[in-house]
C-alpha cells in the first residue's frame, strides 16, 4: 500500500488541493480562446500569431510532459506540484503584462510557453498524487470527480473570461493568481505524502522529444502562412518525425530513460493512448474555433461566446461522472466506445446546423458533443494510468499527457490550416461575385483570412462584419466540425477493435509491477517517501 494511503491527510482534502492546482491548466485551455479577438485587435497580431499564442502553451505542455512526469517520480510529486504552480502563476502574471508594440507577439508567445512548462511540471505530479491516494476500484469515480470538477472550473473559464475581457483581456491571465494561492494553501494544509525514487535524468531524450514535437507541429502551423509548396514545411515535419523516431530508438538503449518504452507492450495502455491522441485532435481546438465562430458569424460579445462554450461543458461534466462510474463497474471499453460515438454524432449534427447562424438550432448538438467527450476522456486516461506501477504513475501520466497535448497542438495546427484555406477559397468566390477581379479577390481574401478575428473583437455586434464574411466563416467552421466528427468516428473504431471488455484486476503485481522500474535498468534506487 502506498505511503499516501497509509498516512497523511484525508484523501479528499488532497483531491481538492490537486484540483485547484490543475484548475489553472484547464482554465487556460479555454479562457484564452474567448479573448482571442480582443488580444489580436489590441496587440495587432496576425491570425497565425494569435494561434501561436494559443498553440505555444499546448506545444510546451506536449514537449515537457514526459520530463515533468519523470521528474515527479524521481524528485517528489508534491514538490513538483508546488514548483509547477509557482512557475505557472508567474508566467500568467507576465502574460497579463504584455507590452504594446513590436515586442507584443514575441512576449506573449514566450510567456505562454513558460505557462505550458509550468503546467507540464505540475499536472503529471498532481494526477499521480490523486492516483496514489485511491485504490484501483475507486479511481474511476475519483478521477471522474477530478476531471469533472476541473472541467466545471473550465466551464466557468469562458464565462468569466468573457466578462473579464469586456474590462480588459489582461485579466484572463491574472485570474490564475488567486487560484494558485488557494492551491498552495491547500497543499500546505493537506501535505500529501507520496513515494519517489531518485534516478538520473535523461536530458538527451528530453532534447529529442522536445525537438521532435516542436518541429513537427511548427511545420503544420506554418503551412497556412508559407504554403504547402514551400519546401521548408516538409522539412520541418520530416525532421520532427525523425527526431521522434530517434527518441524511441534511443530510449530503448538508455539506462535511465525519460520514458520506459516497454510500457507500450501493454495492449490496453497503447490502445488508450491511441484513442486519447485521436480524440485530442478535436477536444482543445473546438474551443478556439467555436469561440471565433460565436464572435464572428453570430456576432456575439465575448461574454456571450463564453456561454456558448458553457453548453459544451454542461454535457461534458455530467457525462464524465457517468463514464467514471461505468469504468469502476464494467471496465473502460464501454464508456470509451459510447463516448466516441456520441461525440462523432454530436459534431456531425453541430456541423449541419452551424450555417444557420442561430445558436438555438445548435445548442443541443453542442451539449451532445460535449457529453461524448466527457464520457470517454476520463475513463480512457484513468485506464491508461492504471496500467503502471504506483512508483511510475508520474511517468505514465507524463506519457498520456504528452500524447494528449501533442495531439491537441497538432489538431489546432492542422484544423487551423483547414479553416483558413477553406475560408480563403470561399471569400475569393464571394469577392469575385461582388465584382472584384480574380487576382485582387484572391489577394484580399488571403489578407482577410489572416486577420479573420479582428472584426469580431470586443464590439459584440455584427455592424462591422459583412454578411458574406459571416456566412463564409460559418461554412469554413462547418468543414472543421465535419472533420472533427470523422476524427471521433475513427477513435470509436480504434476503441471497438483494440480494447477488451471487462474490469482490470488488481493484483500484487499492481503494487510492485516490474515492467516500469522508475530508475530504469541501471538507475533504480530504493523508494523514498516524500515528507
**Does this model's pTM top 0.85?**
no
Q: Tell me the Cα Rg of the chain.
A: 22
C-alpha torsion sign, points 380, 382, 388, 391: positive
How far is 479 from 422, CA to CA, in rounded Å? 8
- Boundary-marking domain end, from 239, 257, 275: 257
Task: Report if residue 512 sits inside a domain.
Answer: no
Q: How far is CA 340 from the centre of its chain?
A: 17
Contact 427, 467 (CB under 8 A): no
Burial 424-462 (b: 16+ CB within 10 A, else e): bbbbbebbeeeebeeeebbeebeebbbebbbbbbbbbeb
- CA-based nearest residue to 73, from 253, 207, 208, 260: 260
What does the alpha-carbon distance between residue 258 and residue 251 come to, in Å, rounded to a whole number?
Answer: 7
**φ and ψ at residue 529, rounded to 5 degrees:** -80, 140
Count of CB atoms within 10 A of residue 35's CB?
30
What's the CATH number where 131 sits?
Answer: 1.20.1250.20
Cell digits for 497?
Answer: 477493435
- What number of other Cβ atoms are within 10 A of residue 510's Cβ? 16
What are the cell numbers at 518?
Answer: 522508475
Give the separation between CA 241 and CA 425, rounded to whole angstroms: 30
* Residues 310 and 214 grouped into a single domain: no
Q: Using CA atoms, how far apart are residues 236 and 233, in angstroms rounded to an integer?
A: 5
18 and 69 together in one domain? yes
Contact (Cβ atoms closer than 8 angstroms) between residue 374 and residue 317: yes
The answer to the question of residue 1 being in a domain is no
Q: Which pLDDT tens digits describe the chain residue by residue (531 residues)?
A: 334 443 445 777 888 889 888 888 877 766 776 777 788 888 887 776 777 787 788 778 777 888 888 888 888 888 999 999 999 999 999 999 999 888 888 899 999 999 999 998 998 888 888 877 777 777 777 777 777 676 666 656 666 777 777 788 898 899 889 989 999 999 988 888 776 677 788 889 889 988 988 788 778 767 766 777 789 888 998 999 999 999 989 988 888 888 888 788 888 889 999 999 999 999 878 887 887 888 888 887 666 766 777 788 888 888 988 988 898 888 889 999 999 999 999 999 999 999 998 888 999 999 999 999 989 988 898 888 777 665 566 677 778 877 887 788 788 878 888 888 899 888 888 888 888 888 887 888 777 776 554 434 444 444 577 888 889 999 999 999 999 999 999 999 999 999 988 776 554 444 443 333 333 333 333 233 343
Pull the grid cell for residue 289.
Answer: 474555433
Helix crossing, 47-75 with 11-43: angle to 10°? Answer: 160
Domain count, the chain: 2
Domain presence at residue 139: yes
Q: How far apart are CA 33 and CA 53, in angstroms?
A: 10
240 and 267 housed in the same domain? no
Contact status, residue 353 vs residue 318, Cβ threshold 8 Å: no
Cβ distance 138 to 5 under 8 Å? no
- The whole-angstrom separation of Cα 382 and Cα 135 is 12
94 and 17 part of one domain = yes
Q: Note whether 285 and 418 are within 8 A (CB).
A: no
How far is Cα 144 from Cα 23, in angstroms, rounded to an integer? 14
- In terms of domains, do 239 and 104 share one? no
Same domain for 483 and 338, yes or no, is yes
Q: Residue 506: helix, strand or coil by DSSP? A: coil
First to last CA, the chain: 17
**219 and 301 fall within a common domain:** no
User: Are 249 and 111 in the same domain?
Assistant: no
519 in any annotated domain: no
Instruction: List the domain range (segments joined by +) for residue 250.
Output: 202-257
3 state SS of 266? coil
User: From CA 211, how far away is CA 204, in angstroms rounded?
Assistant: 11
Closest CA to 187 of 86, 88, 89, 82: 82
Q: If phi over 0 gives left and psi between -120 and 50 gives alpha, with beta otherwise, what is residue 348?
A: alpha
What is the Cα–Cα distance from 458 to 301, expressed in whole angstroms?
A: 6
Sequence-distant (≥ 6) Cβ neighbours of residue 147 within 8 angstroms: 320, 324, 377, 378, 381
State how far the Cα of 227 lies from the Cα of 341, in Å rounded to an integer. Answer: 34
Residue 2 lies in a domain: no
**Who's near 517: CB < 8 A, 6+ residues apart?**
260, 389, 391, 392, 524
Distances (CA, A) of 493 to 1, 271, 402, 486, 499: 37, 11, 22, 11, 10
**pLDDT value, residue 303:** 64
Could you give the CA distance from residue 60 to residue 74 in angstroms, rounded to a whole number? 21
Q: Does residue 515 form part of some domain?
A: no
| Contact predicate 372/318, CB 8 Å | no
In this structure, the answer to whether residues 482 and 353 fall within a common structural domain is yes
Residues 431 and 343 in one domain: yes
Last residue of a domain, one of 237, 257, 277: 257
Quote the cell numbers at residue 512: 510492485
35 close to 306: Cβ distance less than 8 angstroms? no
Looking at the fold, whether 158 and 274 belong to one and the same domain comes out as yes
**Does any domain span residue 510?**
no
Q: Are 76 and 68 in contact (CB under 8 A)?
A: no
User: Quick one: 211 and 176 in the same domain?
Assistant: no
116 and 64 Cβ atoms separated by less than 8 Å: yes
Q: Does 531 reside within a domain?
A: no
Amino acid at each position: 500500500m502506498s505511503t499516501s494511503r497509509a498516512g497523511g491527510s484525508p484523501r479528499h482534502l488532497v483531491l481538492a488541493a490537486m484540483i485547484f492546482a490543475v484548475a489553472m491548466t484547464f482554465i487556460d485551455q479555454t479562457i484564452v480562446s474567448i479573448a482571442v479577438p480582443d488580444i489580436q485587435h489590441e496587440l495587432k497580431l496576425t491570425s497565425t500569431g494569435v494561434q501561436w499564442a494559443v498553440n505555444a502553451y499546448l506545444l510546451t505542455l506536449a514537449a515537457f510532459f514526459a520530463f515533468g512526469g519523470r521528474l515527479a517520480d524521481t524528485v517528489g510529486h508534491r514538490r513538483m506540484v508546488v514548483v509547477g504552480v509557482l512557475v505557472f502563476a508567474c508566467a500568467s502574471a507576465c502574460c497579463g503584462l504584455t507590452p504594446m508594440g513590436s515586442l507584443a507577439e514575441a512576449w506573449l508567445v514566450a510567456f505562454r510557453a513558460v505557462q505550458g512548462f509550468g503546467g507540464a511540471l505540475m499536472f503529471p505530479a498532481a494526477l499521480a498524487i490523486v492516483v496514489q491516494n485511491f485504490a484501483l476500484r475507486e479511481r474511476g469515480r475519483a478521477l471522474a470527480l477530478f476531471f469533472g470538477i476541473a472541467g466545471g472550473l473550465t466551464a466557468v473559464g469562458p464565462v468569466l473570461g468573457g466578462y473579464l475581457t469586456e474590462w480588459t483581456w489582461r485579466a484572463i491571465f491574472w485570474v490564475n493568481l488567486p487560484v494558485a494561492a488557494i492551491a498552495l494553501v491547500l497543499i500546505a494544509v493537506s501535505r500529501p505524502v507520496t513515494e519517489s525514487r531518485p534516478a538520473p535524468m535523461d536530458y538527451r531524450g528530453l532534447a529529442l522529444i522536445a525537438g521532435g514535437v516542436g518541429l513537427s507541429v511548427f511545420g503544420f502551423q506554418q503551412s497556412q502562412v508559407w504554403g504547402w509548396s514551400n519546401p521548408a514545411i516538409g522539412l520541418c515535419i520530416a525532421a520532427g518525425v525523425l527526431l521522434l523516431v530517434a527518441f524511441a530508438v534511443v530510449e530503448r538503449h538508455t539506462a535511465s530513460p525519460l520514458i520506459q518504452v516497454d510500457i507500450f507492450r501493454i495492449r490496453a495502455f497503447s490502445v488508450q493512448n491511441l484513442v486519447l491522441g485521436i480524440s485530442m485532435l478535436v477536444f482543445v481546438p473546438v474551443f478556439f474555433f467555436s469561440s471565433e465562430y460565436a464572435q464572428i458569424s453570430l456576432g456575439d460579445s465575448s461574454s456571450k461566446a463564453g456561454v456558448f462554450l458553457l453548453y459544451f461543458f454542461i454535457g461534458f461534466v455530467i457525462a464524465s461522472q457517468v463514464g467514471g462510474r461505468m469504468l469502476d463497474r464494467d471496465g473502460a471499453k464501454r464508456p470509451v466506445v459510447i463516448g466516441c460515438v456520441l461525440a462523432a454524432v454530436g459534431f456531425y449534427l453541430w456541423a449541419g446546423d452551424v450555417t444557420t447562424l442561430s445558436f438555438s438550432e445548435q445548442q443541443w448538438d453542442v451539449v451532445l458533443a460535449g457529453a461524448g467527450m466527457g464520457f470517454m476522456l476520463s475513463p480512457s486516461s484513468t485506464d491508461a494510468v492504471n496500467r503502471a506501477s504506483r512508483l511510475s504513475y508520474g511517468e505514465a501520466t507524463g506519457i498520456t499527457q504528452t500524447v494528449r497535448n501533442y495531439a491537441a497542438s497538432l489538431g489546432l495546427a492542422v484544423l487551423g490550416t483547414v479553416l483558413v484555406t477553406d475560408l480563403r477559397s470561399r471569400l475569393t468566390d464571394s469577392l469575385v461575385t461582388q465584382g472584384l477581379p480574380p487576382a485582387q479577390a484572391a489577394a484580399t481574401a488571403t489578407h482577410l483570412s489572416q486577420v479573420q478575428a479582428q472584426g469580431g473583437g470586443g464590439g459584440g455586434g455584427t455592424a462591422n462584419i459583412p454578411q458574406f464574411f459571416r456566412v463564409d466563416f460559418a461554412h469554413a467552421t462547418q468543414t472543421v466540425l465535419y472533420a472533427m466528427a470523422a476524427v471521433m468516428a475513427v477513435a470509436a473504431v480504434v476503441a471497438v477493435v483494440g480494447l477488451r471488455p471487462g474490469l482490470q484486476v488488481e493484483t500484487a503485481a499492481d503494487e510492485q509491477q516490474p515492467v516500469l522500474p522508475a530508475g530504469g535498468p541501471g538507475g533504480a534506487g530504493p523508494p523514498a517517501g516524500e515528507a
